[in-house]
Structure 1
Amino acid sequence: MEYGMFTHPVQGEHRTLYQELVLVNRTLEQKVQELNRAQQRLMEYRKVFECTGDFIYVFDRDYRYLMANEAYRDSRKSLFPDLIGRTLPEVIGAETFARIKPQVDACFAGSEVSYEDSYHYLDKGKRDVLVTFSPVFDGDRVERVACLIKDVSERKLLEEQLRQSQKMEAIGTLAGGIAHDFNNILTVIAGYASLIQINGEESEAAGMAGEILLSVERAAEMTRSLLAFSRKQEVHLETVDLNRLVAELQKSLSRLISEDIELVVRIAGEELCCIADRGQLEQVLINLAVNARDAMPGGGILDIRTDTAELEGEDLPDGRYALITVSDNGTGMAKEVQERVFEPFFTTKEVGKGTGLGLSSCYGIIKKHNGALCMQSEPGAGTSFRIYLPLSGERPCRQREECEERLSAGSGTLLLVEDEETVRDMTRLLLERHGYRVMTARNGHEALELYRQNRERVQVLLSDVIMPRMNGRELCEQVRQLAPGLPVIFMSGYPADVMSEKGLCGGGAYLQKPVKPEDLLGALRRALGG
Structure 2
Amino acid sequence: MDEKTNRGAQTSELVRLLSLLDPVNVIAHDGSGMICHWSSGSRDLFGWTAEEVEGEDFIRLLAPMPSLSIDEIVTRIQADGAWKANLEYRHKDGHRISVLSRWVLSEMNGRPLIVQLNEDFRAAATVQESLAVREAHFRSILQTVPEAMVVIDETGIITSFSSTAEDLFGYEAAEVEGRNVSILMPSPDRDSHDDYIRNYMTTGQRRIIGLGRVVKGLRKDRSTFPMELAVGEAVSNGKRIFTGFIRDLTSRHKIEEELRQAQKMEAIGQLTGGLAHDFNNLLTIISGNLEMLEMKVHDPKAQVLLKEAQGATDDGAKLTGQLLAFGRRQPLNPRMTDLGQMISNFSELIRRTIGDRIELRTVIRGGGNEVLVDGPQLQNALLNLTLNARDAMPHGGQLTIEVSRVHLDFDYAQMYPQLRAGDYVLVAVTDTGSGMTDEVKTRAFEPFFTTKTMGAGTGLGLSMVYGFVRQSGGHIQIYSETGQGTSIRLFLPAVTGIAGGAGGDDRMAPRAEIPGGTETILVVEDDPRVRRVAVARLESSGYSVHQAGNGLEALDVLDAHPEVALLFTDIAMPGMSGDQLAKVVRERRPDIRILFTSGYAEPDIAGKQLAADGSWLKKPYTARELAVQLRLLLD
> TM class, shorter-chain normalised?
0.3 to 0.5
TM-score of the superposition, structure 1-length normalised? 0.41
Larger radius of gyration: 2
TM-score of the superposition, structure 2-length normalised? 0.35
Higher relative contact order structure (alpha carbons within 8 Å, sequence separation ≥ 6):
1
